[in-house]
Amino acid sequence: MDLKALLLCSDEKIGRVLRRTLGDLDIEVEHCASAEIALRLLTRERFEAIIVDCAGPGAADVLRGARTAPCNKRAIAVAILDPASGLRSGFEIGAHFVLYKPVSAERAKSSFRTARALMKRERRRNLRVSVNLRLEMVSVESGARINANTTDVGEGGLAVSMPRRSKPHGRWQLSFTLPGSASLVEVAAEFAWEGSGTQVGLRFVDPSQEVARQLREWLARNTPEGEQDDPPVRCQLTDLSLRGCYLDLPSPFPVSTRVTLSMRAAGIELRSEGVVRVMHPDKGMGVEFTQTTAEHRALLEKFLGRLTENPDTLPELLVEPEGWETETGDISRTDSEPGELDDPLLDLFRNHAGLAADSFHTELRKQRGAAAAAAAGAS
């Protein structure tokens, strides 16, 4: 099954370029000439990407409409801008990616390769695998217990066939075991929808990284479609601390993308999970690590030490998207130590993300110089 994109654009030349480019990437295009038609389609069909030419009327309305349409609120949003428009104008109306006119096939293909990886992950997140599992539900509010059976399971939630006269509401703690696994899955969930008969839907709330991994791997093994994720993207590490890193790559992922980083240098391999906090088109992105355990910190310290000892070593880095950050944006602080948040690189991500790309990179270079001077003084 092809990925599907909604394109709102009245410029036929841009339309031809994007239809050809997206077709080469196995992305089907539904081309609309008016915002009214696009808004109707958003309520009736699911799209993995919403692409709008901001020069046309109703572009912002279409992007806002996608965010309010239940089946399209997590679609990738792409804004096509005139060169005179500021980059921020595209992000302010909800775009994740920006394309400047004139739109070339080469530039569009580079951007949409990155977007496609996210589109695949988000579609897989919405997929459901039919399975009958025994499930225990405990109400967070009242402590009431219900035993039920699932009808399907996905990365974001599950459907349950409830005992008669049971109508759950609010938040619940779920416990179940996936087929072929000996590990009990425990995750919070909230009531999402009520179907016909006794069927209801529950949405997972802030699942742990381990639960997310279990679900992702089990679904990958049991999804009939068998679609493969795009391969990880190679990038260059420019800055690294115990709380984050900055990566150079021509087509970075949008802010709030959850990513997995695989790093290798001087005989040490490290796998880290994080969230994109800063993104500069055509330049790179800043990632805040979401793993804050003592084990991960110790491995990072060892990795940083090895790079310091071998300054000519160029680390090998691969990055791949895992979908969007949860709506709450909470990051686990497990095992955080006093002073751990006093991290200049993380401070730059959190408090200076609005700087223009050149100014931001100037600040990065200042930090590098200060860190090198401190290391030289310590030695």
pLDDT above 60 for 95: yes
- 59 in the same domain as 160: no
Residue where one domain finishes, among candidates 126, 147, 165: 126
Lowest mean pLDDT among 114-128, 220-234, 348-362: 220-234
- 87 in the same domain as 26: yes
The domain that holds 318 is classified in CATH as 2.40.10
Residue where one domain finishes, among candidates 126, 144, 164: 126
- 359 in the same domain as 237: yes
Is 11 domain-assigned? Answer: yes
- pLDDT for position 342: 78
Give the type of residue at 36.
E
Residue where one domain finishes, among candidates 196, 222, 248: 222
Is 228 domain-assigned? Answer: no
- pLDDT for position 328: 39
Q: What is the pLDDT of residues 207-217, one digit of tens each?
A: 887 898 899 88
Is 256 domain-assigned? Answer: yes
Lowest mean pLDDT among 143-147, 168-172, 368-372: 368-372
Per the confidence metrics, is the pTM higher than 0.85? no
The domain that holds 54 is classified in CATH as 3.40.50.2300
For residue 16, the enclosing domain spans 3-126
- 17 in the same domain as 99: yes
- 158 in the same domain as 262: no
Which residues in the chain belong to E strands, given as ranges?
3-8, 27-32, 49-53, 76-81, 97-100, 129-130, 134-139, 145-153, 157-161, 171-177, 184-194, 199-205, 233-240, 244-248, 257-265, 268-280, 284-289, 316-324
pLDDT above 80 for 97: yes
Query: How would you classify residue 202: left for phi > 0, otherwise alpha for psi between -120 and 50, otherwise beta?
Result: beta
- 238 in the same domain as 364: yes
Is 99 domain-assigned? Answer: yes
The highest-confidence range among 240-244, 324-328, 364-368, by mean pLDDT, is 240-244
The domain that holds 201 is classified in CATH as 2.40.10.220
CA dihedral 201, 205, 211, 217 (to 10 degrees): 50
Residue scoring higher pLDDT (376 or 190): 190
Would you state the structure tokens that stand for residue 287, as one six-digit string?
A: 């990632």
Looking at the structure of the chain, the number of domains it has is 3
Is 227 domain-assigned? Answer: no
pLDDT above 70 for 254: yes
Lowest mean pLDDT among 12-16, 48-52, 225-229: 225-229
- pLDDT for position 166: 67
Residue scoring higher pLDDT (333 or 373): 373
Q: What is the pLDDT of residues 330-361, one digit of tens each?
A: 444 334 444 445 789 999 999 998 888 899 99
- 112 in the same domain as 72: yes
- 370 in the same domain as 240: yes
